[in-house]
Structures are given as C-alpha cells and as structure tokens.
Amino acid sequence: MKVDKHDRPEFSSLFIFNFSASPFNHHFFSHIFPDRSPSPSLSPSPFPRACDYSFGRWVWDETYPFQSYTENCPFLDPGFRCSRSGRRDEGYRKWRWQPEGCDLPRLNASELLERSRNGRIVFAGDSIGRNQWESLLCMLAHGVSNVSTIYEESGKSINKHKGFLTMRFQEYNLTVEYYRVPFLVIIGRPPRNSPSEVHAAIRVDELHWYSNQWVGADVLVFNAGHWWNLDKTVKMGYYFQEGGKLNMSMGVMEAFRRSLQTWKQWVEENLDPNRTHVFFRSYSPVHYRGGTWNEGGHCDTDEEPERDYTQLEDEPETNTFISNTIKQMDSVKHKVQFLNITYLTEFRKDGHPSKYREPGTPEDAPQDCSHWCLPGVPDTWNEFVYANLLSKGFRK
C-alpha cells in the first residue's frame, strides 16, 4: 500500500479477542457484499458480550446515525470536510458495519463522557490517528450541552498542528489529546561522522519524549505503520539507530519490529494495568487506483464500498508485527487490544477526500486516498473502541 508525501495515515485495526486470525483470510470469500436493504433496528445490550467486531459486512442503512455530528463540527480539519470541498454524493455516510454474529453498539456520547469524567483519552500516532481523534471529538461533542465549553487548553489552533493538542471537555473535566508521533520513537540528529547521505536517525530503542505525557491516561490509542516504508525513511536519508550506533543495513520492517519492542517495554514499565486501557490500531488501507499517489493515482470515481474482492490487498506485514507484539504481552495482564480495522476499512475506497481537498489546494495536487472524510469511516473505529470499553466495564 502506497503513501504520499504528505502526513499520510498509519495503522488501525482491532482483533478484540482473537489475535491469531488474519483479516484478509478469515472466511474471506464468505463475506458476501450486502444488498442495499434497510437493516433492522438494533438494541444492543449496554454490556456487549465478547465479540470479534473485525469481520462482517457493510450494510446500507438510511437510518445510520453518522449524523450524530456534521461537517459543522468545529474540530474538523478542512481537508476532512469533503462536502464543503465540493463532494456532492453523501452515500458514503450511509454504510453501517455489521459484524458477524453480534451487533456493534452505537456510541452513546453522554454515557462515554460520564464514564470518562475527570479522565484522559489519548491518541498517539500519525495523521490517520489525528483523523480518528477528530472523529471522536465530534462524536463526544454531540453529548455536551454547550460546545463552546470544549477548548484547546493552550489556546492553539487545531488545524494542521504538528505537536500535540489537548481538548478539554469542561463539563466533564475530561481531556481528549492527540500527539503527532508518526514513528512513535524519536527522530533526531544522526551520530557524529555519519555518512553525508544520513539526514536523520530514527532511534528504534527510544520512545518519543512525548511518552512522558501519556502516563496516567485512562484510554490510550496508538497507531503506526504508514511511515514505516522506504519512501519515508531511507529514501529521505532517515536511517536507523540503536544503542547510540547507526545501523545503515537494518531493514525497515526489522526497525519497525524493534520499535514495537521499545513500545512494549514502555507500556509494561510505565502504565498501570488497573487503570489504562491500551489499544493499538491496525493499518488503515489506502486506495490509489491507476497509479501511485504521485503518478496520477485516484479514488474520486468511487461512490460505494468495494465489490471486487480481487481488488483487496493482502494484509500488511506491519499488522503481523503489531499483533505478535501484543500477544507477547498476554502474561503481564495489561489491557492491550489490537484494534483490527484493516479488513473492514479495505472495502471503503469510497470514503476518502480524493480530489475534494481543503480550499486552496492546487488543482494538479495529488488526490488524498489515504485520509478519510468526516463524518465517515473513522467513526466506526471509535465505535470499536467504545464497544471494547463497555465489554471491559470501563470505569464502572
């Protein structure tokens, strides 16, 4: 899967209780694409049973409440407001994910806010993680009596910010935070006397210094993967460093594996398993057709989810590394879940901004087939988080 030169998405996915399955081979051809028939109303239990929400089908649903918020939500980047940028079809908002054998609870903003009172929800990762963070902000804002009581603590503008942002829900003394850390580990100056082609060092054995601010969070949602490729590393002069030494022969996937071990050690040593619920989202697929992002690739002709299974790509190797790392943590009793959204998201070629990017984007700019229109697909990812928290009796 390709990524463009901009702040492209990272992972996202969720095996709730089954880490051994692969989202692209689990009953693959038995997932028949649904007709556009109305779905029965759902009345899920407030405490859903254990379920693997990762597998199922997209169902056309005229009543689907993506309209729990609209593009008027003040916390959306202009690049995610696709209708305002000229997109005329809105059918992409009417597809509801229906898991096999169970129902996915619709996110109840008031309930989640109450459960999260005096707490912290933190997202850490690349710009696809930001996409999901903005989705949750807008979903939760729907449960607040006065949206003006939601504000960024330091007064920062939230558009295109590259550091970290802390949105406070004053009525609930809750913060929902985003930290931009595309690799999760530190990117810094290379060691002295490094070859001239080395512009920066990715320190796979040092988690980003923002990690000090994640300690004590009630919910932590990580994502990574979209930047772990040759285009974003070696071809840019970013090589890998470990133990204070540059290793120019280390492959990208090996570096990613080692960075995950660094993340794992940090979680085990710094987080209270009785308090913090940890999620690591799987890869969020991109959908460039007819070329790569910089060679005319496009997704603007797609108005429905994918029907041709031959167009679905194999499961990304990064997902395997994340899943395996989490399996290694079973014995330490941390509440770590692999949020496997890759399979369901692979179908949604229709959900990207494509050519409907933020105002002022040059006409010949590459299409955005990586990020997601909002309201849209990331709302379902947040419903996965919500369902999992309910099943664990989050803060009750």
What are the φ and ψ backbone dihedral angles of 371, each rounded to 5 degrees?
-75, 180
Q: Which of 368, 370, 379, 391 is catalytic?
A: 368
Four-residue CA torsion sign, 142, 161, 256, 354: positive
- Per the annotation, the verdict on 135 as an active-site residue is no
* CA triple 337-340-346, angle to 5 deg: 170
CA-based nearest residue to 281, from 390, 123, 135: 123
Task: Please give the single-letter amino acid code of residue 389.
Answer: L
The DSSP line for 130-185 is: HHHHHHHHHHHHTT-S-GGGEEETT----TT-SSEEEEEEGGGTEEEEEEE-TTSE
- Per the annotation, the verdict on 391 as an active-site residue is no
Q: Which of 334, 354, 371, 379 is catalytic?
A: 371
Residue 210: count other Cβ atoms within 10 Å of its Cβ: 17
Q: Which of 54, 127, 211, 354 is catalytic?
A: 127
- Per the annotation, the verdict on 127 as an active-site residue is yes
Place of tokens 């460039």: 288
DSSP structure class, residue 32: P
Cα 80 to Cα 21, 84, 171, 359, 378: the distances in Å are 32, 9, 27, 11, 11
Q: For the stretch 17-36, what's the b/e string if a residue is b when 16 or more beta carbons lie within 10 angstroms of its beta carbon?
A: eeeebbbbebeeeebeebee
Q: Give the DSSP H or E segment for 111.
A: helix 109-115
Burial of 86 per CB tally in 10 Å (0-12, 13-18, 19+)? exposed
Q: Give the DSSP H or E segment for 270.
A: helix 252-270
Structure tokens at 87: 């997109």
Cα 150 to Cα 70, 125, 220, 254: the distances in Å are 17, 23, 20, 41
Would you say 184 and 224 are in contact if contact means Cβ atoms under 8 Å apart? Answer: yes
Catalytic center residues = 127, 368, 371
